[in-house]
Amino acid sequence: MELTKDQIEQLKKLISYKGFTQIDVQYEILDHVACRVEELMEENPTLDLPDAFMKVHTSFGNKGFNELDISYQKMIRKRHRKYFWEELKIFLSSYKVLLVLGIFTLFYNIRFAFDSANGWVGGLLMLFIGCAIIIAGIHWKKFKKYRKYASFNATGNFFAFVSFVYQLCSFSYIMLNNSLKNETIWSNYGVLAITGILMLMFCCLFILPKVFERTQADTEKLIKLYQMN
């Protein structure tokens, strides 16, 4: 037998009752469940849909559909990492990398005007946080549209990333101050490493919006697919 549209909707509700509320996760589970439910109802015509669903759920063991959810989430994270490294390669081979170098050169030279050995790093930190907030504000509204999709919610890590980077950069700034107090070859390497981290963070300001847009496109494809079904 083939499940009707109403039965499919009922299965989605049952999956949601199990705690899987994200739409694409529901469909991922549905792909594995629907065929098995059809088989059980063919074998036993008196079996209703909820009972067939519970039998299928039980067959997955104690963890139920959690393994399917975990597998899907891993696939999403793997895809996002792929997008990030692809966009990083594109960025490093484009003229935009010169913008980052130009920003650092500008702030480094400004330090002579203010007679500050490391004030330029503080300026870069403020600029980074300002740019990160602007980018987050531009894309924040889109989360309202896609918040029910796991494939898109993973990009929310961007906001957690900004918080982490702020703490990392602040710690780096403190380390830089301490390093400059005792000029040694190791302190020079430390300053170089800290500067490299800051440059990478600025590169991410260009990369993450691209990753965000590619994830948005993936989610739009899922929306169209699910609307057709």
Q: Do 104 and 211 share a domain, yes or no?
A: yes
- Number of domain units in the chain: 2
Q: Do 122 and 207 share a domain, yes or no?
A: yes
How confident is the model at residue 191, as a pLDDT?
Answer: 63
Type of residue numbered 177: N
Q: Do 28 and 110 share a domain, yes or no?
A: no
Question: What mean pLDDT is predicted for residues 22-42?
Answer: 84
Choose between 9 and 169: higher pLDDT: 9
Place of tokens 């330090």: 111
Q: Do 55 and 106 share a domain, yes or no?
A: no
Each residue's pLDDT tens digit, 170-210: 666 666 555 555 555 445 566 667 777 778 778 888 887 88
Q: Do 155 and 219 share a domain, yes or no?
A: yes
Choose between 92 and 154: higher pLDDT: 92
Q: Do 60 and 86 share a domain, yes or no?
A: no
Determine, yes or no, domain membership for 70.
no
Q: Do 83 and 147 share a domain, yes or no?
A: yes
Question: What mean pLDDT is predicted for residues 96-121?
Answer: 74
Q: Of 68, 70, 59, 64, which Cα lies nearest the Cα of 18? A: 64
| pTM of the model as a whole | 0.69
Which of 64, 88, 105 marks a domain boundary?
Answer: 64
Q: Do 57 and 10 share a domain, yes or no?
A: yes
Which of 64, 91, 108 marks a domain boundary?
Answer: 64
For the chain, the first-to-last Cα distance in angstroms comes to 17
Q: Do 174 and 150 share a domain, yes or no?
A: yes
The torsion angles phi and psi of 141, rounded to 5 degrees, stand at: -60, -30
Residue 120 near residue 111, CB atoms below 8 Å:
yes
Percent of the chain at pLDDT above 90? 1
- Among 40-44, 57-61, 150-154, 211-215, the least confident range: 150-154
Each residue's pLDDT tens digit, 119-167: 676 777 778 778 877 877 777 776 667 777 777 776 666 556 656 666 7
Determine, yes or no, domain membership for 72.
no
Determine, yes or no, domain membership for 84.
yes
Question: What mean pLDDT is predicted for residues 21-36?
Answer: 83
Question: Number of H helices and number of E strands within the chain?
Answer: 10, 0
Confidence of residue 86 (pLDDT cuts 50, 70, 90): very high
Burial class (CB in 10 A: 0-12, 13-18, 19+), 121: buried
Q: Do 89 and 18 share a domain, yes or no?
A: no
How confident is the model at residue 112, as a pLDDT?
Answer: 65
Determine, yes or no, domain membership for 41.
yes
Domain span including residue 58: 5-64
Determine, yes or no, domain membership for 73.
no
Q: Do 102 and 192 share a domain, yes or no?
A: yes
